[in-house]
A = this chain, B = another copy of it.
Amino acid sequence: MVGGGQGAFIGDVHRMAARLDGMIELVCGAFSSNPRKSKASGKALFLDPKRVYKDYREMMLKESQLDKNHRMDFVSIVTPNHVHFEPAQLALESGFHVVCDKPVTFSYEQSIELKKLAKKNKKLFAITHNYTGYPMIKEAKAMIAHGELGNIRRAIVEYPQGWLSTRLESSGQKQASWRTDPKKSGKAGCMGDIGTHAENLLEYVTGHQIKKMCADLNTFVRGRALDDDGAILLELDNKVKGILFATQIAVGEENNIRLRVYGTKGSLDWSHEDPNSLLVRWLDKPKEIRRTGVGQQYLTTQHAIRVPAGHPEGFIEAFANVYKNFALSLNDIHQGNKPNPVHLDFPTIADGVRGMRFIDKVIESNKSKTKWTKF
């Protein structure tokens, strides 16, 4: 693991997610740019002190020198955005598979580079767009892919948060500080941090890709350098129309990503506040509430469920589904097989590239006086 030392938020999530299914063991790490902090973090995680490294360069080097059965199988990169590219590049070149947090890199060009490297080195590269891990999201995707909703006409994805509605970064809060700093976060603030999740969820579920957009970004909190709010009109392929809305200044909103999709036969409504329900509206039948694990569901959905119906699956379980499928695919490969398509249902570097492209285009569209900007 690269990053995720004491005090970090997402490192712990990655570790819980990786642990959950008993298929992945944390064996080494470079948990902080501060070697002492890295050591302390490794100790708290009961790691062999020899495999707690002072930085990721050392880790890649030393681990690649271990014999095949003892070295790590893959690297998880959970650092801020500006420290994604180099460790990922080094990992791929040193022969390791990669799991990386989103957005995958600091710039679009870097993401293209990683995509090439992963292909060249034949390595798996997962991105933790974790919302795609919820069972009812997988059910939604499958329902649309199987034509249950007819042709899709319109989609709305929104992601309101409120935690940055004041200038939290000036208090020294770590999560706020790097996310609002263009040197660490990249070109976009809100749109990079959570807008990319919304974009990924929209494209994953509908199976349609954004073709053009009209963005209006805002920075509501004075003194902040990056956007903290934005609304975007979208056109996807097949003339599907969309709205993407993301904000971090919506006072009192927690983490309420929601997706609605309207087709010619039916429509879907999923919200992170009730992630185990999927509201389905039909043209000619009563509304339905489909629930995790209730009744006959698609194979990818079943595969994403751990407990019987009525036992809520939460955020960590959804996150863990990225790791689980990544690990199962890795296992398929280790056993000399082509990965099972069900196992390959996790976000990859290709999704990462689209996310970076999305950021570039949102910034471009926001500056443009012309209505539509091509994706």
Residues of B within 8 A of A280 (CB): 252, 286
A161–B250 CA distance with the chains assembled, in angstroms: 26
A48–B310 CA distance with the chains assembled, in angstroms: 35
Interface residues of A in 26-40 (CB under 8 A from B): 26
A99–B174 CA distance with the chains assembled, in angstroms: 38
Residues of B within 8 A of A229 (CB): 153-154, 241
Interface residues of A in 294-333 (CB under 8 A from B): 294-295, 306-317
Q: Are A312 and B250 in contact (CB under 8 A)?
A: no
A9–B306 CA distance with the chains assembled, in angstroms: 9
Q: Are B262 and A247 in contact (CB under 8 A)?
A: yes
Q: Are A153 and B220 in contact (CB under 8 A)?
A: yes
Partner of A250 from the list B245, B262, B315, B372 (CB cut-off 8 Å) is B262
Q: A347: shortest Cβ distance to chain B, in Å?
A: 18
Residues of B within 8 A of A13 (CB): 306-307
Interface size of A by CB at 8 A reads 82
Partner of A316 from the list B9, B160, B316 (CB cut-off 8 Å) is B316
Interface residues of A in 247-263 (CB under 8 A from B): 247, 249-256, 262-263
Interface residues of A in 206-262 (CB under 8 A from B): 214, 216, 218, 220, 229, 231, 233, 241, 243, 245, 247, 249-256, 262
Taking A22-B19, A214-B214, A289-B287 as contacts, is the C-beta distance between A306 and B311 under 8 angstroms? no
Q: A335: shortest Cβ distance to chain B, in Å?
A: 15
Residues of B within 8 A of A166 (CB): 283
Interface flag for A15 (CB, 8 Å): yes
Residues of B within 8 A of A284 (CB): 295
Interface flag for A264 (CB, 8 Å): yes
Interface flag for A12 (CB, 8 Å): yes
Query: Interface segment, A50-58, A59-67, A267-275?
Result: A267-275
Residues of B within 8 A of A154 (CB): 218, 220, 229, 247, 249-250
Q: A9-B307, A214-B216 are in contact. List 5 more A-B contacts (CB 8 A).
A: A214-B233, A216-B241, A251-B265, A273-B312, A275-B312
